[in-house]
Structure 1
Amino acid sequence: MTERTFTTLSDGGHFFEGPRWHDGRWWVSDFYAGVVATVEADGTRRTVVEVEGQPSGLGWLPDGDLLVVSMKGHRVLRVGADGASSVHADLTSLDVPGPLNDMVVAPTGHAYVGCFGFDLMTGADPAPAPLYRVDPDGTASLAAEGLHFPNGAVITDDGATLVVGETLGCRYTAFALGPDGALTDRRVWAQMAPTPPLTTMGETLGALGVAPDGCGLDADGHIWAADAVGSRVVRIAPGGEVVDEVAAPEGLGAFACMLGGEDGRTLLTCLAPDFFEHARTAAPEAVLATIEVDVPRAGLP
């Protein structure tokens, strides 16, 4: 495995998540600052929109409007070119178990939104969780059930396959993605470690070998993922072999990553000391850092 060292792009955030490369710049959510921001190559960070209910996953509709997950609001917001935001989809009627989380948006405008499945911040016992689908017109529905903390997801270049990480399952699960947005042919795409039983929060976290968080797809069909319990980013081959890894700087964990940059070979990683809301809200210690990799990005997001 190649020795690489992270380079800081921007710091002073509370908890960065959902990194994306779009229109020649980086975009990120800061959970506990309640904002979505862009980040230029020189590290300059500018707020795009303030989000009530904690922002997470980001994506774009075919017309260019930005979609943003409001985690605690159980909504997907739509932000126009003028910066005005509105509710694109309201998922409250679906009885969402715990906060919403990351999202990937297909070329058709169908969005797929994960959720925790339980209240992580109060230490509740983990439970299986659904993945939701939001159609281009804002209609929300259940896309899949029984996932172990559905989190970062990717869509292949041909638009035919969606792969979603299960953070508490140590695996990636794939679906065939239909032109109408339906998910079928569910299968394990990669199993990196045994899936632990969902018991108590402490027992489940302690049994995780790899906890895939935010991620991005490369042109070889591998996934770069943040390992939320391993303080590293890992490159995962179909099947589950970890073929490359880079350790986070000492004292920091890795919670999301994405490929981008002009040649698609820059891996931006969201780093922080931990993910706990009370600690991260109080201390702006989150960092965005980059490494250069060999294989460029592919697919979405």
Structure 2
Amino acid sequence: MSSRPGGGLPDMEILTTGIAMGESPRWHDGRLHLSDWMAGELLAVDSDGTREVVARISSFPFCFDWLPDGTLLVVFGSDGSVMRVAGDGTATPYADLAPYSRHPWNEIVTDRRGLAWVNGIGFDFPEGEPGPGQLVVVGSDGEVRQVVGDLAFPNGMVVTPDGSTLVVAESYAECLTAFDVAPDGTLSGRRVWAATPGDHPDGICLDADGAVWYADVGSSHCVRVAEGGDVLDVLEADRGCFSCVLGGDDGRTLFVVANSWEGLVVDGGERTGRVLTARAPAASA
């Protein structure tokens, strides 16, 4: 595992292994959290790699984020629902996404106002014929509204700290797409934030310099890119990089969830998923 093009980044190190299929990492309350889709587990990982199962989730896929009051929201992607998950693992309904799409829902991101955006890919991956993906916003009252309806396999999302801009990775369009955010969560001003030719960006995170890290499965790397598309740094891995997040005590540790895409474990096979880390040039936004 190596770095380029700047040459100033260290190689990635292994934090933990034995994950069936890691996705959707988040840094919260001093620990890394991630989804293990194949195992149906929401995991928390300490700085020494020790793992704890925070909740067991009966959905494939599933993703999660926290509201400002600490409420954990989990998207049960296969059911088309957003659930509140309590500390004891109990799940209660928060929002119903099923009326907006029968296809799996993919990612969620929240902001400081208590809004939550959830995207769906618009077809049954990987067998289905690709169709237009969408993005809905969920208000603090659980009301759902569609705000975008023609995304090319939407994946990871971030909201800027001031809440003014949302960036979504469009994997099949090979780009990061930005929107202006209205106070009610409505999106406008759609534009290409950065083209990623040859890459299909998956999970993303934003740093304090305004750059975005994106993970790419097919190219087995994570790329730091500036608005406009200039590539700032690249971290190479030995397997597909599904998502990434900045965290750690100073916000400058890049956590990458990586898996071997071919032959993903289903019933008792080898678990190839792992969490990789590297020191980043800028802290989390």
Q: Provide TM-score, normalisation by structure 1.
A: 0.88
Q: Which runs of 5+ in 1 are unaligned?
A: 194-208
Question: Is contact 2:177-2:193 (8 Å) kept?
Answer: yes
Question: Is contact 2:65-2:72 (8 Å) kept?
Answer: yes
Q: 1:60 matched to which residue of 2?
A: 66
- Residue 231 of structure 1 deviates from its aligned partner by 0.5
1:160 aligned residue (164, 167, 181):
164
Q: 2:12 matched to which residue of 1?
A: 6
Which whole-Å deviations, capped at 9, do the CAs of 1:96-151 have from their partners, x for residues lacking one? 4x211111111111111112221113x22212211121111112221201110111
SS of match in other structure, 2:99: helix
Number of aligned pairs? Answer: 279
Q: 2:114 matched to which residue of 1?
A: 109
Return the alpha-carbon distance in structure 1 between the equivalents of residues 269 and 64 of structure 2: 24
Question: Is contact 1:32-1:281 (8 Å) kept?
Answer: no
Return the alpha-carbon distance in structure 2 between the equivalents of residues 69 and 285 of structure 1: 24
Which whole-Å deviations, capped at 9, do the CAs of 1:8-33 have from their partners, x for residues lacking one? 11111111001010100000001111
| Stretch of structure 1 that moved more, 48-57 or 146-155 | 48-57
Question: Is contact 1:27-1:39 (8 Å) kept?
Answer: yes
1:79 aligned residue (57, 80, 85):
85
SS of match in other structure, 1:297: coil
Question: Is contact 1:57-1:104 (8 Å) kept?
Answer: no
Q: 1:131 matched to which residue of 2?
A: 135
Q: 1:254 matched to which residue of 2?
A: 241
Which whole-Å deviations, capped at 9, do the CAs of 1:12-57 have from their partners, x for residues lacking one? 1111001010100000001111111111111111111111122532
Q: 2:3 matched to which residue of 1?
A: none
- Residue 276 of structure 1 deviates from its aligned partner by 6.4
Relative distance call for 1:281 and 1:71 in structure 2 (3 A) is farther
SS of match in other structure, 1:234: strand
State percent identity of aligned pairs: 41
| Stretch of structure 1 that moved more, 83-92 or 271-280 | 271-280
Question: Is contact 1:215-1:257 (8 Å) kept?
Answer: yes
Return the alpha-carbon distance in structure 1 between the equivalents of residues 11 and 143 of structure 2: 44
Return the alpha-carbon distance in structure 2 between the equivalents of residues 230 and 36 of structure 1: 26
Question: Is contact 2:179-2:190 (8 Å) kept?
Answer: yes
2:184 aligned residue (174, 180, 183):
180
Question: Is contact 2:56-2:89 (8 Å) kept?
Answer: no
Q: 1:227 matched to which residue of 2?
A: 216
SS of match in other structure, 2:172: coil
Equivalences for residues 136-151 of structure 1 within 5 A: 136-151=140-155
Q: 1:69 matched to which residue of 2?
A: 75
Return the alpha-carbon distance in structure 1 between the equivalents of residues 265 and 280 of structure 2: 34
Return the alpha-carbon distance in structure 2 between the equivalents of residues 161 and 13 of structure 1: 33
Q: 1:288 matched to which residue of 2?
A: 275
Relative distance call for 1:176 and 1:275 in structure 2 (3 A) is farther
Q: Provide TM-score, normalisation by structure 2.
A: 0.93
Which residue type is aligned with residue 170 of structure 2?
E
Return the alpha-carbon distance in structure 2 between the equivalents of residues 51 and 144 of structure 1: 27
Relative distance call for 1:114 and 1:85 in structure 2 (3 A) is same
SS of match in other structure, 2:146: strand
Relative distance call for 1:276 and 1:140 in structure 2 (3 A) is farther
